[in-house]
């Protein structure tokens, strides 16, 4: 099961012990489109009766990785929070407005006033987004 996707890679949880010398090819459909990507195992651990794999994700555009991340987070009830660099950029261009810091699992925007974004910072925004999702579910 795919449990996390980021710009740098993916985390999986599976009953299969990984072979660190083998590139793994995955095929999946997202919004009706077929995709293929290669996973290169970086690390793995045995935990609670399952293997956890940390992998580099290769062969996908940044936009596709972002879509996949949003889909995975939505499936497990987590928000997708935008990068702090992008949030700060939006704050600088709209200092008296709300900015989108991320998205709920149902795709709805999570908005915060600019001055609050700058005051609570990236860790606070991540926690806020998680709280919004917990309340929304």
Same domain, 88 and 48: no
Same domain, 18 and 65: yes
Number of helices (H), then strands (E), belonging to the chain: the values are 3, 8
Task: List the one residue out of 136, 137, 2, 1 whose CA is nearest residue 69.
Answer: 2
Same domain, 87 and 30: no
Average pLDDT, the chain: 86
Same domain, 98 and 55: no
Question: Domain residues for 95?
Answer: 80-136
> Helix, strand, coil % (nearest 5) of the chain?
35, 40, 25
The model's pTM: 0.58
Confidence class of residue 137 from pLDDT cuts 50, 70 and 90?
low
Same domain, 44 and 59: yes
What percent of the chain has a predicted confidence (pLDDT) above 70? 98
The residue out of 38, 53, 75 marking a domain boundary is 75
Number of structural domains found in the chain: 2
Confidence class of residue 87 from pLDDT cuts 50, 70 and 90?
very high
């Amino acid at each position: 099961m795919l449990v996390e996707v980021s710009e740098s890679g993916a985390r999986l949880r599976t009953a299969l012990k990984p072979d660190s010398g083998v590139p793994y090819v995955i095929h999946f459909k997202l919004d009706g489109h077929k995709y293929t990507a290669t996973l290169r195992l970086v690390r793995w651990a045995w935990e609670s009766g399952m293997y956890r794999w940390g992998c580099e994700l290769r062969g996908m555009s940044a936009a596709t990785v972002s879509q996949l991340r949003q889909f995975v987070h939505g499936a497990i009830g987590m928000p997708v929070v935008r990068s702090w660099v992008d949030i700060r950029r939006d704050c600088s261009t709209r200092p008296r407005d709300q900015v989108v810091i991320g998205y709920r699992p149902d795709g709805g925007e999570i908005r915060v006033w600019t001055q609050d974004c700058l005051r609570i910072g990236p860790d606070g925004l991540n926690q806020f987004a998680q709280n919004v999702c917990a309340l929304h579910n």
